[in-house]
A and B are shown apart, each in its own frame.
Chain A
Amino acid sequence: MHELSVARSVLDIALETARRGGARRVTRIGLRLGTLSGVDQDALDLAFEVARQGTPADAADLRVEAVPLRCHCASCDLDFDVDDRHGVAICPGCGQPSGDIRAGLELEVSYIEVM
């Protein structure tokens, strides 16, 4: 994806939150990243290294919590985690594929650590 613009948006959220919280520096940014967020973590790390320069978050590290794809099976009324990287979600109950996504699209800043 366009990881540099994603990194800039992450920083904007972190810096704005820090400023409103009266903090001087951001030392860590916690990010929730779904399997199907469309963001490549290596590319995001690299982009973040560039984007953070010259900001109050220039020494901040990015702590990524990976959120697995989770789908729902209507006939079994069951939510289940999917570890297939191609998004093939087979219900463990009935063996049918599901397209009903309940988690795994996340791209969100969950917390920041500041000083």
Chain B
Amino acid sequence: MPDTRPIGISVLSDKETDRSRVIQVEKGVLARNAELAAENRERFTGLGLLTLNVVSSPGSGKTTFLAKLLEGRRDLPAAVIVGDLATDRDADRLRLTGAEVVQITTGGVCHLEAAMIASAARRLTLEGKRLLIIENVGNLVCPAAYDLGEDLRVVVLSVTEGEDKPLKYPRMFKTADAVVINKMDIAAAVELDERALRANLAAVCPQARVFALSARTGAGMEAFHGYLEERLAAPAAAAR
């Protein structure tokens, strides 16, 4: 609006209007994501799905773990949303298990957001499915801050990553429902101190169920299958 006040009194009045004031906001920076995640959760729960958000560092064997998990439950109608920086190789590997798979290529974005999941879910036939797995981008920092609408957050770490990993990524581990210690078949070769790793997990994330296994050999997978079965049977409201 043009200032039409006469020269002379404007100095005083400008000071008056220039006096700063405070506006209360109280708005989460990721509020939009939280809203969309809540919508996803409502939709997925309404369809009777158990939704897993699977996160890890790059190279933890996350895709091998998921392929093994799905191979062991070919009876269970499942869908997978795979987030990857650039390639669609993970999606191809998971498709071999019979699950319906869609790929989100983030083009360098370091995490998945609830909006990407909503849009990927529209490309899937979720009716009649029981399990929805979201394979997040390999990164333990950014994905920790983004709720996708999942029931369970599963962190996969491999024995090569060091016993103190949970201490380095406290948010991811503290918000995990389950932790998978993968590549146990090479634990001796990399001199894993399993007691130290478990002690760190117990200190940072006592709420998380811990599964030590080898997705490659299949050893220890049955315990995770049992966990999955237990969560599938749990009422949706108690899943988280």
Which of A's residues lie within 8 Å of B, judged by CB?
1-2, 6, 9-10, 13-14, 17-18, 21, 23, 27-28, 30, 36-38, 85-88, 90, 96-101, 105-115
Whole-angstrom CA separation of A50 from B36 in the bound complex: 28
Q: How large is the interface on B (under 10, 10 to 19, 20 to 34, 35 or more residues)?
A: 35 or more
5 new A-B contacts at CB < 8 Å, known A13-B29, A111-B25: A6-B29, A9-B29, A38-B142, A106-B28, A108-B31
Contact assessment for A37 and B23 in the assembled complex, using a CB-CB cutoff below 8 Å: no
Residues on B with beta carbons closer than 8 Å to the beta carbon of A108? 25-29, 31
Q: In the complex the two chains form, what is the Cα distance from A44 to B20 in whole Å? A: 25
With A and B bound together, what is the CA distance between A114 and B18 in angstroms? 9
Chain B residues at the A interface, C-beta cutoff of 8 Å: 17-31, 109-111, 141-142, 144-145, 166-168, 170-171, 173-175, 202-208
Distance, CA A110 to CA B30, complexed state (A)? 13
CB distance from A98 to the nearest CB of B (A): 7
**Which B residue's beta carbon lies closest to that of A5?**
B109
Contacts of B145 in A (CB 8 A): 1, 37-38, 105, 107
Interfacial chain A residues near B110, Cβ < 8 Å: 1-2
CB distance from A72 to the nearest CB of B (A): 11
A85 CA to B170 CA in the complex, in Å? Answer: 8
Chain B residue at minimal CB-CB distance from A98: B206
A115-B28 in contact given A36-B171, A38-B171, A99-B205 (Cβ < 8 Å): no
Instruction: Report the bound CA distance from A101 to B206 in whole Å.
Output: 12
Closest-CB distance, B164 to chain A (whole angstroms): 8
Contacts of B167 in A (CB 8 A): 86-88
Output the nearest chain A residue to B19 by Cβ-Cβ distance: A115
Q: Complex formed: what's the CA distance from A38 to B170 in Å?
A: 9
Q: How far is the CB of A8 from chain B (nearest CB, A)?
A: 10
Which listed residue (A1, A85, A87, A109) contacts B27, Cβ 8 A? A109
The answer on a CB contact under 8 Å between B26 and A110 is yes
Query: Which residues from B are CB-within-8-Å of A1?
Result: 110, 141-142, 145
Which residues does chain A contribute within 8 Å of B24, judged by CB atoms? 110-111
Contacts of A90 in B (CB 8 A): 203
For A39, the closest partner residue in chain B by CB is B145
- Which chain A residues border B29 with CB–CB below 8 Å? 6, 9-10, 13, 107-109
